[in-house]
Structure 1
Amino acid sequence: MRVHAEVRYPASADAVAAMLADTAFVDARDAATHALEHSSSVEGSADGAFVVRSSRAMPTDGAPAVARRFVGDTLVLEQTDVWSEPAADGSRTGTMTIEVPGAPVALRASLRLDAQPDGSSVETMEGDLKASVPLVGGALEKAAEPLVRSAIRSEERVGRQWLAERAG
């Protein structure tokens, strides 16, 4: 299943990259998704290329029965975002991988962080959500897609608040 999302931030690409490379932001982002527990790490820094890894345990009480059959009462999402060094204007490219250990479900996406002429920036995610399960893979993808979109919108809310608190 193809997944596309754009997140607009009222801050420069450099400021957004600094936010994305901050473990405190990643922890706040993950907590906002109602994770039961979460952890994160960052390799590198926003001055160059960086890799963000996070793991969060999520309740499955609202998930369809077909999904709960594979993961139980909780599922763990392991996310790895790999960002390139910035271009002269702060823009970057990257990749995102979200995997669910113990379940044949993964999201693989390309990322872009583009500086805008007005000083804002846009983060774009374009990828494929795949569930490699005969007969029920499509149902798993359909069940996971709203969760992915909800997480993206949650990241946008947390990110906008994060940037607003640090502006000026």
Structure 2
Amino acid sequence: MELHVTVDLPTDVDGAARLLADPAYVHAKVRASGALEQQVDVTGDPTGAFTVTTRRALPTTQIPAHLAALVGDRIDVRQVEAWGAPASDGARAGTVVVEIAGAPVRVTGRTSLVATGTGASRVTYDGEVRATLPLFAAAVEEAAGTAVRAALREEGAVAARWLADGDGAAH
């Protein structure tokens, strides 16, 4: 199943890169996803290439009940975003992988960060959700795609609040 999500940010591409590589912001967006437990690791620097790895335990109340029976009372999600160094205009490209431990589903794709105007930018996620569970693959892919879309949209809302509060000054 294909996945396409855009997140508009009220900051230029340099500010967006600093935001995406800020461990405090990453912790805030993971918390906003309803994480019961979380771990964040940021390597590299927003002036060059950087990688953001998150691990979060989520309650299975966020997925359909008939699928929750397959994974237990929580799901452990690992997400890795690897961003390349900026182009001359500040635009970036990268990759994203989302894995759910113990579940036969994986999201892989490409990310991009581009300017959309003065003081505005857009992060785009284009990928594919794949499940390898016979008979239930389509339902699992749909549930995973819905959950990933919702999480990325929530990240956009967290980013807007974060930037409005002065790049995390109030956090």
Per the shorter chain, which TM-score range? Answer: over 0.9
| SS of equivalent to 2:38 | strand
Partner Cα distance (2:62, 2:86) in 1:
39
Deviations 1:43-63 (A, max 9, x none): 101010000000000000242
Partner Cα distance (2:33, 2:117) in 1:
32
The alignment's TM-score, normalised by the length of structure 2, stands at 0.93
Aligned twin of 1:155: 155
Aligned twin of 2:115: 115
> Residues 1-168 of structure 1: matches in 2 within 5 Å?
1-166=1-166
> Between Structure 1 and Structure 2, how many residues are aligned?
167
What is the identity, as a one-letter code, of the residue corresponding to 1:152? Answer: L
Calculate percent identity across the aligned residue pairs.
Answer: 40
What is the identity, as a one-letter code, of the residue corresponding to 2:84? Answer: S
Which runs of at least 4 in structure 1 moved beyond 3 Å after TM superposition? none
| SS of equivalent to 1:158 | helix
RMSD across aligned positions (CA): 1.2
Deviations 1:133-158 (A, max 9, x none): 11111111122222111101110000
Of 114-123 and 92-101, more deviation after overlay is shown by 114-123
Partner Cα distance (2:107, 2:143) in 1:
13
Partner Cα distance (1:63, 1:112) in 2:
28
Deviations 1:2-36 (A, max 9, x none): 01011111100000100100111110000001111
Partner Cα distance (2:99, 2:115) in 1:
29
For structure 1, the residue ranges without an aligned partner over 5 or more in a row are: none
Query: By how many angstroms is 1:90 displaced?
Result: 1.3
What is the identity, as a one-letter code, of the residue corresponding to 2:66? Answer: V
Distance change in 2, residues 1:11/1:62 (3 Å): closer
| SS of equivalent to 1:116 | strand
Partner Cα distance (2:154, 2:28) in 1:
10
